[in-house]
């Protein structure tokens, strides 16, 4: 259920971040793609190929739906870009379902620590470095409570790096309260999912 909530917030937050609200069709399409990816993962014994397959199908579906639209060409292209991006981010977040539970715990804690550290009143370069160091420390700490040990620092740093990219994208419209509580929370977590999965396998 937390993953489903994250995927819904990701799809909705991305559209609001792009000034496209309400955009019920695009949000519903992105969220539906995420749910299909979740089901495909569970049906395939959590094979990451299910994510790639769903992503490919949903890009094609988004393209077909936009081609059927009667809007202006520029508006259709803008809608296609937003729809594909929202669906891709929501589907990629399914990586948490493919990853091991301990890797998710380490990565999620590191992302939270990185975002808090990034908010410190420091110059941007120093703030980014501090966030990565704090995330690596949090990863090592939580990793010590699991089988990862100090390798948790690798998962933490990698997840934090991706999360900071998502955090930067969400800050494009951060003054919006809706974006703050949707994209501002969801994008860092969604962006970190691939790193959590890949680094969790490497460290494991």
18: Cβ–Cβ under 8 A, 6 or more apart, which residues? 82
User: 105 and 190: one domain?
Assistant: yes
pTM: 0.86
Give the rounded percent of residues in the chain with a pLDDT score beyond 70. 93
Tell me, what's the pLDDT at 134? 94
Range in 29-38, 115-124, 164-173 the model is least confident about: 164-173
Q: How many CB atoms lie within 10 A of CB 14?
A: 30
How many domains are contained in the chain?
Answer: 2
User: 82 and 105: one domain?
Assistant: no
Query: Which of 40, 74, 98 finishes a domain?
Result: 98
CA neighbor of 156 nearest in space, from 95, 102, 91: 102
Mean pLDDT to the nearest integer, 173-188: 74
User: 86 and 108: one domain?
Assistant: no
Q: How far apart are CA 134 and CA 103, in angstroms?
A: 17
pLDDT higher than threshold 90 for residue 76: no
Residue numbers of the domain that contains 75: 2-98
pLDDT higher than threshold 80 for residue 177: no
């Amino acid at each position: 259920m937390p993953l489903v909530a994250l995927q819904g917030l990701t799809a909705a937050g991305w559209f609001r971040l792009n000034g496209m609200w309400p955009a019920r069709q695009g949000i519903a399409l992105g969220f539906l793609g995420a749910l299909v990816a979740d089901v495909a993962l569970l049906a395939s014994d959590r094979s990451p190929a299910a994510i790639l397959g769903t992503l490919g199908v949903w890009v094609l579906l988004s393209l077909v739906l936009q081609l059927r639209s009667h809007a202006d060409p520029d508006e259709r292209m803008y809608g296609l870009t937003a729809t594909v991006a929202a669906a891709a981010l929501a589907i990629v977040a399914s990586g948490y379902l493919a990853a091991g539970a301990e890797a998710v715990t380490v990565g999620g804690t590191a992302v939270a620590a990185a975002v808090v550290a990034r908010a410190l009143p420091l110059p941007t370069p120093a703030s980014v470095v501090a966030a990565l160091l704090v995330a690596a420390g949090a990863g090592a700490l939580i990793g010590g409570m699991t089988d990862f040990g100090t390798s948790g620092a690798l998962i933490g740093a990698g997840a934090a790096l991706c999360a900071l990219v998502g955090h930067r994208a969400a800050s494009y419209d951060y003054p919006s309260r809706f974006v703050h509580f949707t994209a501002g929370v969801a994008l860092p977590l969604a962006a970190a999912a691939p790193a959590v999965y890949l680094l969790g396998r490497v460290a494991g």
